[in-house]
Every structure is written in structure tokens, then in C-alpha cells.
Amino acid sequence: MEEEMVGSRSLREKPLPATATPTLSSLGAVFILSKSTLGAGLLNFPWAFHQAGGVAPAFLVELVSLVFLISGLITLGYAASVSGQDTYQGVVRGLCGATMGKLCEACFIVNLLMISVAFLRVIGDQLEKLFDVLLPSSQQPWFASQRFALSLLSALVILPLSMPREIAFQKYTSILGTLAACYLALVVTTQYYLWPQGLEHDPRPLQSPSSWTSVFSVFPTICFGFQCHEAAVSIYCSLRPRSLSHWAVVSLLSLLACCLIYSLTAQYSQLGEAAGTVNGNNECLSKDHDMHEVTLYLQGSEVQLRVPLTVLWVAGTLTLALLLPDLSKIIGIIGGVSAFFIFIFPGLCLIYAVDLEPMGPRVKCCLEAWGVVSVLVGTFIFGQSTIAAILELA
């Protein structure tokens, strides 16, 4: 008993590592968190809004999702303060034990690997369409091939942007990524109002869900569209000033801004066919190099290992993106892993963290109950997404 008390005390009093020097401003944190969130949701949300039965039910699902998503981000900041760790997997390992830490690391690598490969495939498709417009001839030159263009882009753009260790560097490129997403939402919205004659409208748009099961089916899609939790601990540890209330404001502003962008894009993409032709290459590129950089930053590697690991990561993801013919079904199965980072791991960290902090019994009971609810919701989403993906694969 005394050993457990000593271990708990040492864990609670352990400060954050000296390497995690706060260098990130509030605005920079908002941009980085927003850019980490924005991405494939811009492509998936129009389908989710239609599947849910229109704006009202889909927006209701968004609001419910935001409760769990924002609480998960705040929980991770709180867990980082309690555990004294500056990486996501370090927090899980410090609070939940070595076994859960290894599970977190495995899920971490698999999840971000598939995300990086998927976005490289999206960038390659967009580059191919771009060359079709710029070079409409039947026989395009060799440099217009997708393999060469994507390889050159990875070597000249993605790899250099993946090298800096400090996550604060991302605030500069995060502005471009966020503005690209805002540009897409603005174009989709204004195009509907300025050129309605060129758009095909649904004469009887779906205003109510066909069933409640269809509403629940889009819950994972909407939650995964706001996925940014892998980078949350590193952003929190780099935040200046580093406080839980400050982090809560940053998380709230970031996800509300993303909610507005997603909702506008989804709503007006349904109303106009032309809106779906907007090129999203800039946003995908920004998101992809962010995933490369944040992944290796979170691993906490030394300088001697970080550079070769970065090169190996970019080369490996590029090879998979060029060789694998169809990733959609595989990503559907792996996508359920995201539920661990959004719901399950934060819930477990909250349950363990409250045992290490002095607090009233009622507050402790409420926090533990919320942690259990998060774990149960994450388990449900993981099971639902994985089973649906397996059925589609069959």
C-alpha cells in the first residue's frame, strides 16, 4: 500500500520534461489544431449530411460529437499535466500502464500510416487532374505521370516540411492549410448563390432521416472528421501559457471553427453539383505534411534517429501510395482505430488520473462516470465502424 502511495505521489508531482518548452501562442495553437482537424471531412461530410437526412439532424449529431471531442482534448491536457509526459503514447503509458502504452503505440503507427498514405493518394489524384487541365493532349509528357509528380512533390515539399522537430514551426504552414479549407467552404457557398443556373438542384431534398439507424451510422464519420487528438498532447505541452483553462478555450475555438467550415461545405455541396468540382489539393497537401511531421515529433526521437526516420517514413508512405491499387476498403477497417484516440484512451486516462489528484468524492465520481461513458461510446463506434467495413469488404 505504501509503495502504491509513493508511486502515485511521484507520478503526480512529476513535471513536464524540459524539452517541452512552451513556445506556441494561442493563435498558433488554434491554427495547428484546426489544420490537424480539417482534411478528409471536407469530402465525407456532404455524404454524412445526406445520409443523416439533412442539415438539422446532421448538425445535431455534430453538436453531440463536439461534446465528446472537446472533452477528450481537455482530458488529454489534464492527463499530460498529471503524468508529466509530453506525447500521447507517453501519457497513456504513464497513467494506464505499459500494456496499454504498447497498444497505443501500435494503434498510433497504424492509424497515422494509413492516414498519410490516404492523403498522398488524394494528392496524386488531384495532380493527375491538374495535368489533364494544363496538358489536355492525348499523350502527356513523362513528367506529368502521377508517380513522378507525386515523388517529386514528396521530396521537395513534404520531406523538408517534415524535418523541423518543434511543433511551433507548424503555425506558419497551418495558416495556409486553414485558409485553404476556408477558401473551399467560401467557394462552395458563393458558387451556389452566384451561379445557380449552372447547378442541378434536388427537387425534393431529404429533410428528415429515413430511420434513426441512418443518423447513428454517420456518427463515426462526423467524429472522425474532427480527429486531431493524436497531436493534442504535443500542442498542449508547447502552449504558452500552459494551463488547462487556456487549453480548453483553444480546443473550443478550433473545433467550432472546423464545425462551421464542415457544415457550410456539406450543406452547399449537396445543393450544387458544380460545388463538388472544387480542387482540394492545397488542403490535402497541408494536412499530409502535418501528419508526417507530427507523427515523428510525437515519437520523441533523438536528432540522430529523427532525420533517417523522417526520410524512411516519407519514403514508405510514398511507396505504399504508389503501389497499393485500392485503399478505400482497407482504410475503412483501420478507420475504426481512430475511436481509440478520440474516446477510449482519453476515457481511460481520465479514470486513472482522477485517482492521483486530490478532489471531492462527488467530483471524482462524476469524472470517473464520464470516463466510463467515453470508453463505452468509443467501443461502440469502433465495433460499428469495423463491422460495417468488413461487411463492405465481403
323 Ramachandran zone, left/alpha/beta (phi>0; psi -120 to 50): alpha
Is 390 within a domain?
A: no
pLDDT tens-digit series, residues 225-279:
888 888 899 889 888 888 899 999 999 999 998 888 888 888 877 665 433 434 4
How far does CA 326 lie from the centroid of its chain? 22
β-strand partners of 207: none
Residue 53: inside a domain: yes
Report d(CA 291, CA 249) in Å as an integer. Answer: 23
In this prediction, residue 289 carries a pLDDT of 47
Residue for grid cell 472544387: 278
Reduced 3-state DSSP string for 260-277: HHHHHHHHHHHHCCHHHH
Does residue 383 lie within any of the structural domains? Answer: no
Q: Which of 63, 37, 23 is nearest to 251 (CA)?
A: 37
Residue 181 forms part of a structural domain: yes
**Which pLDDT score, from 0 to 100, does residue 234 have?**
86
For residues 58 and 267, give the distance between their C-alpha atoms in angstroms, rounded to a whole number: 10
The tally of domains found in the chain comes to: 1
Q: How far apart are CA 130 and CA 133, in angstroms?
A: 5
131 is in which domain, residue-wise?
Answer: 22-325
Backbone angles phi, psi at 280, to 5 degrees: -110, 25
At residue 374, the pLDDT reads: 94
pLDDT for the residue numbered 390: 77
pLDDT, averaged across the chain: 77
DSSP state of 357: S
Regions of the chain where pLDDT drops below 70: 1-22, 39-41, 138, 165-171, 195-214, 270-304, 325-335, 393-394
Q: What is the pLDDT of residue 363?
A: 92
- Domain contains 215: yes
CA distance linking residue 379 with residue 369, whole number of Å: 15
Distance CA 35, CA 2 (A): 46
- Let me know if residue 331 belongs to a domain: no
Question: 252, 363 in Cβ contact below 8 A?
Answer: no
Structure-block grid coordinates of residue 147: 508517380
Query: Is the C-alpha dihedral spanning 11, 12, 17, 20 positive or negative?
Result: positive
Contact call for residues 257 and 91 (beta carbons, < 8 A)? no
Residue 239 φ then ψ, to 5°: -75, 140
Q: Identify the pLDDT of residue 1.
A: 41
225 φ, ψ (degrees, to nearest 5):
-65, -25
CA angle 4, 106, 301 (to 5 degrees): 85
> What phi and psi values does residue 24 have, to the nearest 5 degrees?
-105, 125
Within-domain flag for 384: no
Domain-located, residue 260: yes
* Cα–Cα separations (whole angstroms), residue 388 to 47, 64, 330: 16, 22, 12
pLDDT confidence of residue 330: 61
